[in-house]
Amino acid sequence: MCTGRVDPTMIAEAFINDADGVMVVGCHFGDCHYITGNVQGQIKVGLAERVLTYVGLSPKRVSFDQCSSAEGERFVKLVTDFNQGVRELGPLGNGDGLPAPELKEKLSIAKTILAKEKLRWVVGKFTVFVTEGNKYGEVFTDHEMWRTLDTIVMDEVATHQIMRELGQEAVAVKDLAARLKLPAPDVLRYVLALQRRELVDLDGVEGNSPRYKAVGPTAQVA
């Protein structure tokens, strides 16, 4: 199977099912059996790594490497080194940002947003934007693309969690911020954006704080 077939959600799925590490090894650039599959593979694995790391996984648990079928020794070294790194961390939840049960919950959020339109669209455009540029001819660097993706990851994770919380009960922004461990002004911004999209509505006012809840068909989805 070409690394180009590796869907970022598959990597999340592996961790959700208790994998301690996921290594994706493809051909060298310019030597890909499927021409450019490995280029896409690297980007997709890179995305999965960023999203999973953002929700608390140690980055040492994901790797994308390259090796030709004639490089047996290199393959052994890559696998041994990766295995060593993962062994030093231990099972999932050790050396990660969160203990295992909480991490698992976050990983399923990660999988959901990896399956969703927003990130996949930008990732799909990655190679086009860094080579040919966008409609206006603006060509971006890898660094700029990843920075953009980082922002989207942050927004997606926060939005997803907010929708989930507000789908269960009406919550005030400051309480929501405390639950999500995010700054209240950021949470307010997300909530107002969701309100504009008619996914969230004012439920009532408690003291000085307005409380919000999820509305519409997506309330259950999250």
47 binds other proteins (CB under 8 A): no
Among 28, 90, 99, 121, binds other proteins (CB under 8 A): 121
Name the β-bridge partners of 65: 25
CA–CA gap between residue 222 and residue 211 (Å, rounded) = 18
Kind of pairing between the strands at 62-66 and 22-26? parallel
Contact 119, 51 (CB under 8 A): yes
- Contact characters 10-29, other proteins, x per CB under 8 A: x--xx--xxx----------
Does 117 engage in binding with other proteins (CB under 8 A)?
yes
23, 24, 109, 123: which one contacts other proteins (CB under 8 A)?
123
Nearest approach, Cβ of residue 41 and other proteins (Å): 8
Single out the segment in contact with other proteins by CB under 8 A; choices: 122-130, 156-164, 196-204, 206-214. 122-130
Query: Residue 4 interacts with other proteins (CB under 8 A)?
Result: yes
| Sheet with 209-214: strands ordered across | 171-172, 209-214, 200-206
CB 119 within 8 A of CB 149: yes
Contact 173, 202 (CB under 8 A): no
State which of positions 163-222 bind other proteins (CB under 8 A).
none
| Cβ-Cβ contacts under 8 Å for 17 (sequence gap 6 or more) | none
Number of residues in the chain: 222
Regarding 120 and contact with other proteins (CB under 8 A), the answer is yes
Min dist. Cβ of residue 88 to other proteins (A): 19
The verdict on 125 binding other proteins (CB under 8 A) reads: yes
Distance CA 156, CA 96 (A): 21
Which residues are at the interface with other proteins (CB under 8 A)? 1-2, 4-10, 13-14, 17-19, 30, 33-37, 40, 44, 115-118, 120-121, 123-125, 127-128
